[in-house]
């Protein structure tokens, strides 16, 4: 399966438009590579492509990616649809950019589909531009995607988006996807939003060949130290930190046979600096951070 990291930053991107923290300032000066908001493209056959989340930057990301160029007919596109891991603005708003695209299918968990019907009512809006298929991504047994991929969804957190009105605090708001290429047996585990290390997650990692994981925050006190002192001690907005005894990197050490890549990096995360000691430490542990546009074979 081909996997393209279209964007690798958390909501707001890097640099973030209203942030003058030390890292964003260095990015504005051209000293650090910019990152667009997190989104991925996958294909089992090189001609049918599926987007994993659709960020508000999707137009620029599509235009920068030759594999996703339109054609051969005047309105043909290799993009077949979108799999949403959650209903966050940075993962769903790109659907509005794709409006009018014919025959697209959106796979999402029921709370996500409902939030995009009522609280951020994109579904009705989009259907008035071109009818799309909306499918429950949590169907038992999973589902197949054109191009030879099979997918299962795994609830990983109950973190609702901020805009949700009266959200059910126990609903499976966030899922991870396990995407397998039937022809090669390669399997990608895609989990860009993890509030904690989920039950059963080690089993999922054991059956994958590559994992794309939530790298929003490097350290548990990051928002407090990087942005505003008064934020110190605030919970990290539903994202498990990378470092520290309870962080994801320590847990990933149990899976050394697996390619482990962090994505959805917040602008406060020192991993956005390729020369940082934090990135060196990550590489030493066998994990990676890659730039936008990186292509993988899984
Ligand atoms: C998140 O990942 O926690 C959200 O996307 C935050 C946001 O609204 O940008
Ligand atoms: Mn996000
Ligand atoms: Zn910043």
**pLDDT tens digits for range 238-286:** 899 999 999 999 999 999 999 999 999 999 999 999 999 999 999 999 9
Report the alpha-carbon angle 56-60-65, nearest 5: 125
Q: Which CATH architecture has domain 2-297?
A: 4-Layer Sandwich (3.60)
pLDDT recorded at residue 289: 98
Q: Ligand 1 pocket, 89 CB below 6 A?
A: yes
pLDDT tens digits, one per residue of 137-166:
999 999 999 999 999 999 999 999 999 999
Q: Ligand 1 pocket, 236 CB below 6 A?
A: no
Q: 51 - beta bridge partners?
A: 41, 82
Model confidence band, residue 237 (pLDDT cutoffs 50, 70, 90):
confident
pLDDT recorded at residue 223: 81
Distance 251 CA to ligand 2 centre (A): 22
Residue 229 has pLDDT above 60, yes or no: no
Q: Which atom of ligand 1 is nearest to the CA of 11?
A: 9
Q: 56 - beta bridge partners?
A: none
Cα separations (Å) of 111 from 67, 117, 198?
Answer: 32, 10, 19
pLDDT tens digits, one per residue of 33-43:
999 999 999 99
pLDDT recorded at residue 221: 84
Question: Which ligand has an atom closest to residue 18 CA?
Answer: 3
pLDDT recorded at residue 236: 65
Mutate to test the pocket of ligand 1, among 10, 85, 164, 238 (most ligand atoms within 8 A of CB): 10
Residue 230 has pLDDT above 60, yes or no: no
Q: Ligand 1 pocket, 90 CB below 6 A?
A: yes
Q: Which atom of ligand 1 is nearest to the CA of 159?
A: 3
- pLDDT: which is higher, 222 or 273: 273
Q: Ligand 1 pocket, 237 CB below 6 A?
A: yes
Cα separations (Å) of 176 from 73, 87, 172, 227, 239?
Answer: 34, 13, 11, 29, 14
Distance 233 CA to ligand 2 centre (A): 20
pTM for the structure as a whole:
0.96
pLDDT tens digits, one per residue of 159-211:
999 999 999 999 999 999 999 999 999 999 999 999 999 999 999 999 999 99
pLDDT tens digits, one per residue of 49-93:
999 999 999 999 999 999 999 999 999 999 999 999 999 999 999
Distance 21 CA to ligand 3 centre (A): 4
Distance 258 CA to ligand 1 centre (A): 27
pLDDT tens digits, one per residue of 98-132:
999 999 999 999 999 999 999 999 999 999 999 99
Q: Ligand 1 pocket, 238 CB below 6 A?
A: yes
Pairing of strands 174-181, 187-191: antiparallel
């Amino acid at each position: 399966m081909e996997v393209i990291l279209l964007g690798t930053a958390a909501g707001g991107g890097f640099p973030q438009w209203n942030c003058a923290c030390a890292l964003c300032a260095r990015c504005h000066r051209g000293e650090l590579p910019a990152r667009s908001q997190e989104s991925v493209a996958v294909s089992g056959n090189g001609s049918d492509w599926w987007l994993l989340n659709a960020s508000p930057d999707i137009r620029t990301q599509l235009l920068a990616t030759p594999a996703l160029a339109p054609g051969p007919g005047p309105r043909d596109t290799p993009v077949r649809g979108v799999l949403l891991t959650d209903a966050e603005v940075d993962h769903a708003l790109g659907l509005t950019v794709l409006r009018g695209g014919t025959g697209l299918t959106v796979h999402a968990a029921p709370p996500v589909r409902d939030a995009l019907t009522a609280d951020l009512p994109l579904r009705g809006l989009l259907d008035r531009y071109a009818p799309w298929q909306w499918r429950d991504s949590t169907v038992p047994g999973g589902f197949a995607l054109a191009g030879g991929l099979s997918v299962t969804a795994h609830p990983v957190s109950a973190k609702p988006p901020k805009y949700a009105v009266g959200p059910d605090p126990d609903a499976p708001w966030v899922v991870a996807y396990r995407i397998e290429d039937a022809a090669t047996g390669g399997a990608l585990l895609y989990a860009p939003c993890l509030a904690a290390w989920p039950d059963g997650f080690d089993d999922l990692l054991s059956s994958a060949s590559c994992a794309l994981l939530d790298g929003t925050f490097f350290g548990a006190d990051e928002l407090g130290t990087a942005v505003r002192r008064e934020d110190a001690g605030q919970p990290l907005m539903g994202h498990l930190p990378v470092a520290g005894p309870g962080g994801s990197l320590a847990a990933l050490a149990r899976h050394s046979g697996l390619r482990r890549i962090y994505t959805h990096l917040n602008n406060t995360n020192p991993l956005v600096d390729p020369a940082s000691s934090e990135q060196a430490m990550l590489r030493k542990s066998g994990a990676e951070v890659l730039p936008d546009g990186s292509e993988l074979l899984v």
